[in-house]
Structure 1
Amino acid sequence: MAGDLLDNRGRGDVRWSWPPIHPEGRKFGAVAVLVSLVFLIGFDWEIIGWPLLLLSLGIFAFFRDPERVVPQDDRVILSPADGLVSLIAQVDPPEEMMVDDGTGHPGLTPGRVTRISIFMSVFDVHINRAPIAGTVRRVVYIPGEFFDAGLDKASEQNERQHLLIERTDGLKIGFTQIAGLIARRIVPFVKPGDTVGVGQRIGLIRFGSRVDVYLPAGTDPKVLLGQKVVAGETVLAEIGSQQLLEGVAQ
């Protein structure tokens, strides 16, 4: 199905398939399988071997990389991550996204904007995707702590990586990959100057984490607190649209 054009009127050919495993995770899963077989076959220690074999299956599942059907609409900002909308707040963008970085490409404009925080549990897909199409202007890695990614302070104190993408019309979207309690490595797939398509894979965070998205001024979320979102498919916001949305948990 990759590359096929699908629409809301039934065009396209769709069939279910097992999601592939991203190459970044194959080595971890292979090592876990090898160690489990050593205990099962080499030492006949089933009490250790079988749990390790189950763990290896969990590792492969963690690094699954399913295909996504990405909406092609310049008006929308898509979710860069799978997970739970855990925080929606009015904040100032990170300093690293606003300061002059010497490249000649301006960062985000100072001033309060809406930040949407998406928490990824170990059960979510951890491949992150571009929320808009454009040129990667900044990739800024910042070492830090490993607090619970669900906490508000994680945005400023945890290990994190800021990314800034600029469209051809000048619109800029900043988002941040944040490591959590278990996560210990943020893996980028892109660098400054790269051109990315909307929904393109741009990186991953290993083993539980969070992504913060900074919406442009004058734009409200199209998602609700507590909602589950899907990277590359869920519309987080429509540029320039402001509207109060309410939901009921049930």
Structure 2
Amino acid sequence: MTGLPYAVASGGWRYAIAYFALALPAAVFAPPLAAVALALGVGSLWFHRDPERTPPESGIIAPADGHISVIREEGDRLRVGTFMNVTDVHINRAPTAGTVKTVDHRPGAYKPAFSKDSDRNEQVVIDCGEYHVIQIAGWFARRIHPYVEPGDELVRGQRIGHISFGSRVDVLLPSAYSREDLLVEKGEAVTAGETRIVEDAI
């Protein structure tokens, strides 16, 4: 039991404990610094909150909380990206069922995740064959934490990782889908594990 009204993502306590440890001696020698460290510790836990979600029974769903920031064709595939602000939940979820083929870390830059240049940022690509999930770091969020590995069998809405303090998560849809199949549009708010991006192909 954490005593919190929500679970905390793996790794979230690591950030919080460092701030709490700083707050203890600072409370004696520099109370204002202690207050700042305590606030940062509590903020770290809130940033890494992990609420339960109830996935729909069908469709490919959003892998991240936030707003749709990217919709574009890549060959015969459609990429849909979600920008996660610092106030959004940072847990990423499987868009649909699948088997993890590879988990590929790609070093890169740290441009703002809402910019076009963010396509060259550090990434983790989770290849599930028919679809890919791409976790993209931003200028501030430089810690991508995938929870899955090759061979894992995923179910719709399963936790697959998190990005500390925000950034962007894209899904490269199966080739059966096009823009006409989208249930979301650019700028729309979505909820990881619950908002459908497209309905199942017939």
Q: Does 1:83 align with 2:66?
A: yes
Question: Which letter maps to 2:63?
Answer: P
Bigger RCO of structures 1 and 2 (CA < 8 A, at least 6 apart): 2
Pick from 130, 138, 141: which aligns with 1:180? 138
Matched with 2:49 is 64
Pick from 222, 226, 229: which aligns with 2:183? 222
Maintained 8 Å contact 1:216/1:239 = no
Question: Which letter maps to 1:164?
Answer: D
Matched with 1:189 is 147
Unpaired runs of 5+ residues, structure 2, are none
Unpaired runs of 5+ residues, structure 1, are 1-16, 93-110, 167-171, 242-250
Q: Distance in 2 between matches of 1:195 and 1:117?
A: 23
Pick from 127, 130, 152: which aligns with 1:164? 127
Matched with 2:85 is 121
Question: Which letter maps to 1:186?
Answer: I
Matched with 2:39 is 54
Matched with 2:201 is 240
Q: Distance in 1 between matches of 2:103 and 2:52?
A: 25
Matched with 1:147 is 111
Pick from 194, 199, 208: which aligns with 2:157? 199
Q: State the 1:153 CA deviation.
A: 2.7
Question: Which letter maps to 1:161?
Answer: V
Higher strand share: 2
Question: Which letter maps to 1:71?
Answer: P
Q: Secondary structure of the equivalent of 2:42?
A: helix
Q: State the 1:218 CA deviation.
A: 4.1
Matched length: 196
CA 1:239–1:84 in 2, change beyond 3 Å: closer, same or farther?
same
Q: Distance in 1 between matches of 2:143 and 2:66?
A: 18
Matched with 1:210 is 168
Question: Which letter maps to 2:118?
Answer: A
RMSD of the TM alignment (CA)?
1.6
Q: Distance in 2 between matches of 1:36 and 1:27?
A: 15
Maintained 8 Å contact 2:9/2:162 = no
Q: Distance in 2 between matches of 1:22 and 1:208?
A: 13
Question: Which letter maps to 1:179?
Answer: A
Q: Secondary structure of the equivalent of 2:78?
A: strand
Maintained 8 Å contact 1:36/1:52 = yes
Matched with 1:137 is 101
Maintained 8 Å contact 1:119/1:211 = yes
Q: Secondary structure of the equivalent of 1:23?
A: coil
Can you list the C-alpha shifts for 1:112-146, whole angstroms capped at 9, x where unaligned? Answer: 32211100111111111111112111211100000
Normalising by structure 1, what TM-score? Answer: 0.74
Normalising by structure 2, what TM-score? Answer: 0.91
Runs of 4+ in 1 over 3 A off after TM superposition: none
Instruction: Tell which structure's C-alpha radius of gyration is larger.
Output: 1
